[in-house]
Chain A
Amino acid sequence: KAGVTQTPRYLIKTRGQQVTLSCSPISGHRSVSWYQQTPGQGLQFLFEYFSETQRNKGNFPGRFSGRQFSNSRSEMNVSTLELGDSALYLCASSLVGANEQFFGPGTRLTVL
């Protein structure tokens, strides 16, 4: 069974731009969660989607948003990028939210 995939793997943007990251979960998994990892803040939960609905949201500004499609694939969007948004963005999938989570390889975003 294929694992969680994320695209793109690397991305360089400039301040003020917006970015969209994509995540394809393991086949059959309906929950997709997103995390931001930075050296200063560690791994922080962004949001979780289940059956196309956002079920939980972390403590991030409204510039961070996401959505989930009917095939469970998910995208997250960051608008008006700031230097502090430079991070590794990780996506995880599970059968349902509290079950075992499996992570993708991440997208490394650099904001210049």
Chain B
Amino acid sequence: GIQVEQSPPDLILQEGANSTLRCNFSDSVNNLQWFHQNPWGQLINLFYIPSGTKQNGRLSATTVATERYSLLYISSSQTTDSGVYFCAAVDYGQNFVFGPGTRLSVLP
């Protein structure tokens, strides 16, 4: 099956700073999603983005399927952005494979 890697594993930012999180996958994928896991464990959908670029407020994402990576951009970070960010890819066997996550801490 596919392998999904995320970098960096940990990120500490000052409030207001911008950041880029990266997700690499080892093979062609059918689908890719970004999630934010809140402190209570709930996975919140950020983007469903098998290819191309999407924006939602201060967040945007780009997936370059041919080069097997996706990027999540967070601008003007806020303390409420803290948590763990996961990307998950669906291979053609239709299994969802999660990356190990990036733990983001935004300091006031």
Contact = CB atoms under 8 A, between A and B. Distances in A.
B31 A99 contact: yes
Contacts, number: 53
A99 to B, nearest CB: 7
Contacts of B100: 42
A86 B86 CA distance: 21
B42 A106 contact: yes
B45 interface: yes
Secondary structure at the B interface, as helix, strand, loop or mixed, is strand
B31 A98 contact: yes
B93 A56 contact: yes
B33 interface: yes
Nearest to B29: A98
Contact of B42 (A33, A56, A58, A105): A105
Interface residues of B, number: 21
A105 B39 CA distance: 11
14 contacts: A35-B96, A43-B86, A43-B88, A44-B98, A45-B98, A56-B94, A90-B41, A98-B94, A99-B31, A100-B45, A100-B48, A101-B88, A105-B41, A106-B41
Interface of B: 30-31, 33, 35, 40-43, 45, 48, 86, 88, 90, 93-98, 100-101
